[in-house]
Structure 1
Amino acid sequence: MLQATPLTDGWILRHPDGAAASLPAAVPGCVHTDLLAAGVIPDPFLGRAETEVAWVGRRDWTYETDLDAASAHEQTDLVFDGLDTVAEILLDGRVLGRVRNMHRSYRFDVTGLSGRLSVRFASAYAEAEAVRGRLGERPAAYAEPYQYVRKMACSFGWDWGPTLVTAGIWRPVRLEHWSTARIARVRPVVGVEQGTGQVELAVDVERTRVEVPLTVEATVGGVRARAEIEGTGGTVRLSVPDVRLWWPRGYGEQPLYDVELRLLHGDAPLDVWRRRIGFRTVGLDRCADEHGTGFTLVVNGERLFARGVNWIPDDVFPSRVTRERYRTRLRQAAGAGVDLVRVWGGGIYESEDFYDACDELGLLVWQDFPFACAAYPEEQPLRGEVEAEARENVVRLMPHPSLVLWNGNNENLWGFRDWGWEPRLAGDSWGEGYYLGVLPRVVAELDPTRPYTAGSPWSGSWDRHPNDPAHGTHHSWEVWNRRDHADYRLSVPRFVAEFGWQAPPAYATLRRALPDEELAPDSPGMLHHQKADDGNGKLRRGLERYFALPEKDSEQDFDRWHYLTQVNQARAVAAGIEHWRSNWPVCAGTVLWQLNDCWPVTSWAAIDGDGREKPLYHELRRLYADRLLTLAVRGQGLELAVVNQAGLAWTGAARLRRMSVEGAVLGEASARFGAERRAVARIGVPKELEPVGPKEFLVADADGSRAVHFPAPDRQVPYPRPEFDVALVPGGVLVAARTLVRDLLLQADRLHPDARADRGLVTLLPGEEVTIGVSGWETPDAAAARSALYCMEPSR
């Protein structure tokens, strides 16, 4: 039977400042984390220390340990699950192999060998610049040479990430001892036909003895089947009756079935492969209709409005992301009502832990291939690496029922057409052959059960603009970059795969990252932790449209700025999602940019780099709930949209109240509605209830859901000075309003860095109260709670 021996102990990192200099090394890990642990470099997440460690990515590094491959088995392999990125592997000076792709695994025959194992990493910069020198310059969104090396692109920095170019043994390494034969690859094709699960396991084996007869035996759901291995391959098929279907969260349960495949010589087991699978069907409706070309996910025959978020690597040093950290972040996503996570193309193919958690939580996975925001050369050595990594990772991820879509790239088709790339390339290769050739061919051959799309955004044809909102996927970045978030309501894209608005991280996160700085929007550390082009200018212009801005000369004014940016982020995202959800089924999904951060930074994330939820996170819980009310101007009047994504019809009566900011009810009515399952109902608001001028607003309530419409920007609204009472209650804080209190927010991390609130922004009418649950607060105090409460105030 194959035996595996992890190689985690005894590694050292050779320091480049001297041939004898060395440090203890953690494997899996990377150079930066080893240097941090040894105190050689400062934490690049703090202050502006990122710039102090830039030299690390420009150096060559060597990892070493002693290796003894002696074994009673016929063969021993040295297996690396991931090497970042360009490396030469040697044993006592003998070259075992050379590698140049972070996204692949590697295997070397070391049977009977022993000695000093060295993994010599060359600088990814040196490799990328050498490839660029041979193949020629290609345009990109950023100046760093990330498109010339098969490495996590955002290692080289992004508009939310630091430039920390890593190197190291970033995934597990082990010795595998085996005899006669081993399982080299299992490709599971899983389907459902009339309630019966169909499993086809295509098996590749590696042998030491070709003459030995081999069989494979597979079991799943109590069904067992055998097949002969002919040469180095074979296929075993199983039919599992009466399977329970795997559903996305909110649509049903997520039953998972254990699959075991054993490689046998006679009755003697040689190797075993185990995974969990789920039975479900998935499709992508891209049919043309009167609105353009659709993009609707269909799971088990159910058409979905995808409630999505974009996922970036959760740490710029991905070896630090543990199984529990994945689960924490993905539980946060599920807790916000998310049912789809897009793994963005500037990152990595995530570890099994990520996809396992998505399987269990019912989170659909849209998987980008790792290409983003650049023209990628198609010549060697890159072309062969791209196909090899695609083949490996498609097969690796196939067992996961959560995986429902392969996507060729992020924004590269758009970039070619719209960002001036085409004339600059002058006929040079730029990646089209990957997205429209290599990758769809690999997916069709290896994983025929899942749809593939060439890119995001992509309209489906060069006959249309790649980012045409009426066709396929659309990225909405004119809003934020140049236009107000109210402009989200001007169009109905078929599927919004990226959109978002920035805000700084939580206050405690800023304090940890900038411990000695007097905080201001434009203080040195704040500017360093703002990577977007003119990011602060866009924040300011976004605020000026709605709010009277605070001055810059006090900590209190920074606190107000911090609060208002959080409010504006939540409102911007709400403007988009409310509008697009109310236009289902023309619009079939929204994928927020972005769920998470990889370090403490001002960004579009709902969860900051320390894992703290911004107010946007809690707003997502409302926006992505099965039932949503929204008020919007449509045509010549106001309309209430009743959005029902639940499996049962939603019928009832909405209470409509026209109110003054002083708290008087100026008009009231009850409006009956009926929204079928997975449908939207619309109700016209009577003219007499429409608010007039900045002193009035409209409130709609139904079954615990609320929508509020103010016709004027906050800077014009004569808010009363907010009055409310604060009291401690078991597990939280009770706030009772005596006046209108708009966008009340308890910033729990100001009470204690570990404190968390269970809700974000809430608007209270006079006489209403809310209990805000607070955890992680060691010494509750009502006065402290009041000091951490923020809301809209009269303009200064």
Structure 2
Amino acid sequence: MEILLNELNWELKGYYPWVPYLQKSVETGLELNGVTHWIPATVPGGVHYDLYRAGLIPHPHQDMNSLLCEWVENRWWLYRAQLTIPEFSKHKLELVFKGLDYRATIYINNVELGKHEGMYHPAVFDITDKVSQGESITLEVLFEHAPDEVSQIGKTSMTTTQKSRFNYKWDFSTRLVNLGIWDDILLKITDKVAIGDLYLTTDVTDGGQGDIQLSVEFDTADDTLFNEYSLELQCWTPQGTLISSVTSKIDSEWKLLMNLKVDKPQLWYPNGFGEQALYKVLIKLKLQDIVIEERQMETGIRKLRYKQNIGSPKDSLPYTVEINGINIYIKGVNMTPLDLLYGNVTKEHYAWIIRLMKRAHINLVRVWGGGIIEKEWFYDLCDRNGIMVWQEFIQSSSGLENIPSKHIGFLDLLQKSANHAIKLKRNHVSLTVWSGGNELMSEPNKPSTYEDENLAMLKKIVNRLDPSRLFLPTSASGPVQYITKEKGVSHDVHGDWKYNGMSNHYELYGEADHLFHSEFGVDGASSLKSLQKFLSPAHLKPSSVRDELVWRHHGEWWDTFDRDGEFFGPVTDLNQYVQRSQWIQAEGLRFILETNRRRKFNNSGSVIWQLNEPWPNVSCTSLVEYYGDSKMAYYWTRKAFAPIHVSIDYRRLQFKVGEAMEASVILHADQICGKVTVLASVLDEKGTELYEQSFEGTPTLQTALVLGQFSYLISEGTPELFFLRLQWSVDGRSTGKNLYTFSTSLIQPYHASLGFKGGQLLIDEKETDWKTSHNESESIILSKQYTIANIGTEVALHICPIEESDLFWMEAEGAFESLFPGESQIVTVYCMYKQGGAWLKESNYEKDELIGTLPIIRFQAFGHESIKKIEVIHESFVSPLH
């Protein structure tokens, strides 16, 4: 039995280092009271949030306030709570701390139980003989100041801790070093025999039968009792029908291996390739006929294999994932922790971010080695939504030198972290790849290999504890680290992370021949809505980080001011700056995704850097902003990752009059379908058709299909800005469209877009009421359709909805599409009540106060100073219910 202790009345107090050991001054004999009073504490959580709630630090997101919070990491922090010991008739009573951050000493009634170091393995203390039933005890956890650790810039070989490093300053976050209890605290009551480590694996036999295998180890205080115990294993279908029950006696080795066969199994597939059928597995430990312990797990039945890419060198690693006999083209994202205060992240926040992945056709998430090993709820959601997990151990590059640490203390901690993580995460069907860490290099531009002592140790642990899964030494895994135009040297590469220019960007990615692309990105600004939350009015104007310290503090590496000026010219309006920046991010990222996908399965996939950001940036490579809103690049990623997609292979955005624009038209498909017909049209801003060409073909699943060559002569009548639109249908049914923007101007090629009036939009609700549904966290999802029509005379670019009440997370089907005169489309908006943790709680939906409140939706198009200046003929706004 486990009793959760999170909801005790936890308190927190701060001290200068070592003071709690002394308690009274040697000189005066007076009590040393500490640097704070006792304040309420959140468990799980982090010290910073509790200090903020108590008014002891300012809001760290606002402007440069985080600099005023850096003292926190240099103090010692004492948590305490009163606990009444329940009645227990079992053999053993344990205190289990699942996540302590970072060095801690644990006490009961001022008596030390022990010390603990490390975030990723639990601190467990047997208190059976130290307490009595019904006794009220004081439980205390004392944290030392944060260890001195390497931030993004430093030397990896000097790393000595298993502490999340992104807290120490990374390009997408400030320095805010977390301390505290970041995961659950349990009181665990067990019998003389208890279920220990579990290893649940599944496979599919050659005959198509499902195979569920369970390996169990038992914890016991008496080796002679094995004859008295048995284990029952039950299996239930995804629909809830019991299909198998097996009971086995436990032998003297206190280990058990059990198998269940499932006829005609419902298989588990990654997102976009089939359903995510999950079987319930019930494990019952019995003393004679009495159940003394029970565990429930979910698993998917699937056959997992790894293969070399088509045409890959013999010495390359197997980068193609095969599930149930199907080669899975990886459409992935890299995920950082959702918040600098990772202990406060809510189940609802996890559910929202997983929803965004699934809706964008993403099928793999790389849990990055500079962050954390996530909580169990995250992996449960990945199982349920078909998101394969690439889990890295907590190691990362450091810029100056990236050699994996060989420090004896570090290797011991890494081993403990790896052992615990593998034993826990291997039971998730979504787990697909292990990796030694992020960008570990034994010498510049050469990723470390299995020969490295550190990585050899991890490989040995993975092979012992989870032998069915691939272990990559690091990401990228080489043989060169960074993307290059040089042929024949790239397997798995990283880079680049900036838009590389109107010609070089397309040449670099279009000519590369890497087998896998496990990290790359393009930067873009956060929305005006987000910027207004953390920038004071004096800083709400377009600027370069060279000139604006506050902007530099919120995303120094990701300044797009000059880049966007080269496309559009000068800018003074902040919302226009945001729109321009997000457009170029979306354009640059789309090309990378499409050009990688054209080489399927010579290239086995793309993993975008990055999905999210853990603190609010003015600009970043993220697809989703800190507050949960999605950028234009998210929606263009969603389109590029669609199961059926058509693209063109171009190498530049600018053309001179008299030149021919020639580009292959390529069909991408992840599912079998009928004949695909594509109409390629060149249009001006008024929607006038300047040229048209059609293509057709039937897709294959193993490779992209070149449908033909598009060719258009840039004549004297071609406007400064012209558009190439692809529209496709499957067996006559309209399926999708893709729009590219080109220019005949050699300077500021997109400047002409600023002269468009944005069309004349007719926005109407397709339904009066919002529809409701629920997600995995039982949060309500509201949805509603809007019809958008352009009844003006010029194109309306990148039309998107904005949720204005700020009580909801929102995503939409049909966002950031463009409408030419006379065209219309349906936009379906989906909203979920905000239930974020830590700093995000400030904009949470509070059910008791706002029951019945509905989203407020507005729309904006590109090029306008604010959303209210779009000319709207009719718009039905949604008001709160009475």
CA positional deviation for 1:45: 1.8
Q: How do 1:215-230 and structure 2 match up within 5 A?
A: 215-221=230-236, 222-225=243-246, 226-230=248-252
Provide the C-alpha distance between the structure 2 equivalents of 1:667 and 1:276, rounded to a whole number of angstroms: 55
Match of 1:765 in 2: 820
CA positional deviation for 1:343: 0.8
Provide the C-alpha distance between the structure 2 equivalents of 1:393 and 1:361, rounded to a whole number of angstroms: 21
Match of 1:722 in 2: 757
> Is 1:706 aligned to 2:763, yes or no?
no
Task: State whether residues 734 and 771 of structure 1, in contact with CA within 8 Å, keep that contact through their aligned partners in structure 2.
Answer: yes
Match of 1:408 in 2: 436
Provide the C-alpha distance between the structure 1 equivalents of 2:62 and 2:412, rounded to a whole number of angstroms: 39
Task: State whether residues 750 and 788 of structure 1, in contact with CA within 8 Å, keep that contact through their aligned partners in structure 2.
Answer: no
Q: Partner amino acid for 2:366?
A: R
Residues 696 and 30 (structure 1), Cα distance of their counterparts in 2 relative to 1, 3 Å cut: closer
> Is 1:248 aligned to 2:270, yes or no?
yes
Task: State whether residues 124 and 149 of structure 1, in contact with CA within 8 Å, keep that contact through their aligned partners in structure 2.
Answer: no
Residues 265 and 721 (structure 1), Cα distance of their counterparts in 2 relative to 1, 3 Å cut: closer
Task: State whether residues 11 and 81 of structure 2, in contact with CA within 8 Å, keep that contact through their aligned partners in structure 1.
Answer: yes
Q: CA RMSD in A?
A: 3.2
Provide the C-alpha distance between the structure 2 equivalents of 1:549 and 1:237, rounded to a whole number of angstroms: 68
Which stretch of structure 1 is more off in the superposition, 278-287 or 500-509? 278-287
Match of 1:187 in 2: 199
Provide the C-alpha distance between the structure 1 equivalents of 2:438 and 2:108, rounded to a whole number of angstroms: 39
Which stretch of structure 1 is more off in the superposition, 239-248 or 355-364? 239-248
> Is 1:79 aligned to 2:105, yes or no?
no
Match of 2:513 in 1: 492
| DSSP 3-state at the match of 1:78 | strand
> Is 1:329 aligned to 2:353, yes or no?
yes
Match of 1:396 in 2: 424
Residues 570 and 784 (structure 1), Cα distance of their counterparts in 2 relative to 1, 3 Å cut: closer
Residues 149 and 780 (structure 1), Cα distance of their counterparts in 2 relative to 1, 3 Å cut: closer
Query: Which of residues 576, 579, 598 in structure 2 aligns to 1:582?
Result: 598
Residues 174 and 642 (structure 1), Cα distance of their counterparts in 2 relative to 1, 3 Å cut: same
Residues 439 and 752 (structure 1), Cα distance of their counterparts in 2 relative to 1, 3 Å cut: closer
CA positional deviation for 1:656: 2.6
Task: State whether residues 156 and 397 of structure 2, in contact with CA within 8 Å, keep that contact through their aligned partners in structure 1.
Answer: no
Q: How do 1:65-214 and structure 2 match up within 5 A?
A: 65-69=81-85, 71-114=88-131, 115-125=137-147, 128=149, 141-142=153-154, 147-194=159-206, 195-213=208-226, 214=229
Query: Which of residues 320, 326, 331 in structure 2 aligns to 1:302?
Result: 326
Query: Which of residues 459, 475, 482 in structure 2 aligns to 1:440?
Result: 459
> Is 1:451 aligned to 2:467, yes or no?
no
Q: How do 1:271-350 and structure 2 match up within 5 A?
A: 271-286=293-308, 289=311, 293=316, 295-350=319-374
CA positional deviation for 1:641: 3.0
Residues 765 and 699 (structure 1), Cα distance of their counterparts in 2 relative to 1, 3 Å cut: same
CA positional deviation for 1:745: 3.2
Residues 688 and 376 (structure 1), Cα distance of their counterparts in 2 relative to 1, 3 Å cut: closer
Unaligned runs of 5+ in 2: 17-31, 132-136, 237-242, 653-659, 730-734, 766-784, 832-853, 871-882
| DSSP 3-state at the match of 1:212 | helix
CA positional deviation for 1:664: 3.3
Task: State whether residues 724 and 736 of structure 1, in contact with CA within 8 Å, keep that contact through their aligned partners in structure 2.
Answer: yes
Q: Partner amino acid for 2:9?
A: G
| DSSP 3-state at the match of 1:705 | strand
Task: State whether residues 641 and 680 of structure 1, in contact with CA within 8 Å, keep that contact through their aligned partners in structure 2.
Answer: no
Provide the C-alpha distance between the structure 1 equivalents of 2:807 and 2:867, rounded to a whole number of angstroms: 12
Deviations along 1:610-653, whole A, 9 cap, x unmatched? 00111111112211111111122379962343333232134233
| DSSP 3-state at the match of 2:55 | coil
Provide the C-alpha distance between the structure 2 equivalents of 1:393 and 1:234, rounded to a whole number of angstroms: 21
Provide the C-alpha distance between the structure 2 equivalents of 1:741 and 1:789, rounded to a whole number of angstroms: 18
Match of 1:133 in 2: none
Q: How do 1:755-794 and structure 2 match up within 5 A?
A: 756=810, 758=812, 759-773=814-828, 787-788=866-867
Residues 402 and 281 (structure 1), Cα distance of their counterparts in 2 relative to 1, 3 Å cut: same
Provide the C-alpha distance between the structure 2 equivalents of 1:778 and 1:357, rounded to a whole number of angstroms: 26
Q: Partner amino acid for 1:499?
A: F
Task: State whether residues 736 and 770 of structure 1, in contact with CA within 8 Å, keep that contact through their aligned partners in structure 2.
Answer: no
| DSSP 3-state at the match of 1:155 | helix
Deviations along 1:298-352, whole A, 9 cap, x unmatched? 1111112111111111111112111121111100111112111111111111111
Provide the C-alpha distance between the structure 1 equivalents of 2:808 and 2:385, rounded to a whole number of angstroms: 25
Match of 1:543 in 2: 564
Match of 1:674 in 2: 698
| DSSP 3-state at the match of 2:147 | helix
Q: How do 1:57-72 and structure 2 match up within 5 A?
A: 57-69=73-85, 71-72=88-89
> Is 1:55 aligned to 2:55, yes or no?
no
Provide the C-alpha distance between the structure 2 equivalents of 1:350 and 1:751, rounded to a whole number of angstroms: 31
Residues 216 and 259 (structure 1), Cα distance of their counterparts in 2 relative to 1, 3 Å cut: same
> Is 1:265 aligned to 2:298, yes or no?
no
Match of 2:9 in 1: 10
Residues 744 and 479 (structure 1), Cα distance of their counterparts in 2 relative to 1, 3 Å cut: closer
CA positional deviation for 1:162: 1.9
Percent pairwise identity:
23
Match of 1:741 in 2: 795
Which stretch of structure 1 is more off in the superposition, 669-678 or 245-254? 669-678
Provide the C-alpha distance between the structure 2 equivalents of 1:96 and 1:729, rounded to a whole number of angstroms: 65
Task: State whether residues 366 and 607 of structure 2, in contact with CA within 8 Å, keep that contact through their aligned partners in structure 1.
Answer: yes
Task: State whether residues 158 and 405 of structure 2, in contact with CA within 8 Å, keep that contact through their aligned partners in structure 1.
Answer: no
Which stretch of structure 1 is more off in the superposition, 585-594 or 696-705? 696-705
Q: Partner amino acid for 1:447?
A: D
Match of 2:771 in 1: none
- TM normalised by structure 2 equals 0.80
Residues 737 and 440 (structure 1), Cα distance of their counterparts in 2 relative to 1, 3 Å cut: farther
Unaligned runs of 5+ in 1: 129-137, 423-428, 792-796
Q: Partner amino acid for 1:485?
A: H
Deviations along 1:104-151, whole A, 9 cap, x unmatched? 11211101424432211111235x5xxxxxxxxx89634899932111
